[in-house]
Amino acid sequence: MTSALLDIRDLRAWYGMQPVLDGVDLALAPGETLALLGRNGSGRSTLAKAVMGLVRTAGSVCIAGAECAGARTFEIARRGVAYVAESRDVFPLLTVRDNLKLGLRGTRGAAERAALERLFDRFPLLAARADVKAGRLSGGEQQVLALVRALAGSPRVLIVDEPAEGLAPLAVDEVGACLAALQADGVAIVLIEQRLQLAPRLTTRVAVMGRGRIVYDGALDGLGGDVANAWLSAG
């Protein structure tokens, strides 16, 4: 692996007094996509929140060599990390256009208009809905909007939690195409999934979480039955 863009070492996290992460080690190179798998409760979403400074942590989280553990969420975002939660978190009463403006982080005037035009040229699905309130979009359209809003901030690392969950197959294809476009831009992506809906299209590397630790990190086609049965199958 080339020099890591995201480098996590011995990361632990708690909700109150309850430990959730128990010494996670994970590294991601620039432009690399990693599928993060695991059962519900394995710690995947907590890992995303820990990287973003949303839960109490100990250990190391380096972004491009700079230590970010203990930093505030907006400081981590300024380092180039974007997080799209499973809930999508679009602003339902704002239009698609205004949601995207929020992702441009202070760009104004002609520069803002040019940036929006570039986004709409690249993602015509959103251009067609530019003046529609986000709350009226389909689930797939909302997910694409959340991803493109993250792209608007020019992230170096994108963490996206269950982007295909609950979506119809056509909407999954739209979200997959959006992620592929981000990947082509050289964004490093941590793709959190429970069912392998998007990962096989985007990456050959997977990490599996179990009991708050990484129990497998390697090739998707090397994910053997023992690991799958122990850490991924239901029950």
Determine the CATH number of domain 34-52+81-231: 3.40.50.300
Write down the number of H helices and E strands in the chain.
9, 10
pLDDT of residue 195: 85
Location of structure tokens 């007094």 = 17
pLDDT of residue 107: 75
pTM over cut 0.85:
yes
pLDDT of residue 36: 97
Pairing of strands 33-37, 205-210: parallel
What is the mean pLDDT of the segment spanning 1-30?
A: 91
Q: Model confidence at 234, in pLDDT bands (50, 70, 90)? A: low
Domain positions in the chain: 34-52+81-231
Q: Report the C-alpha gap between 98 and 130 in whole angstroms.
A: 8
pLDDT over 60 (residue 1): no
Those residues whose C-beta lies under 8 Å from the C-beta of residue 165, and which sit 6 or more positions away, are: 86, 194
pLDDT over 80 (residue 193): yes
Q: Model confidence at 230, in pLDDT bands (50, 70, 90)? A: confident
pLDDT of residue 82: 94
Residues in the chain: 235
Instruction: Report pLDDT digits (tens) over 72-113.
Output: 999 999 999 999 988 878 999 999 999 999 988 767 788 999
Please name which of 162, 146, 198 lies closest in space to residue 44, comparing C-alpha atoms.
Answer: 162
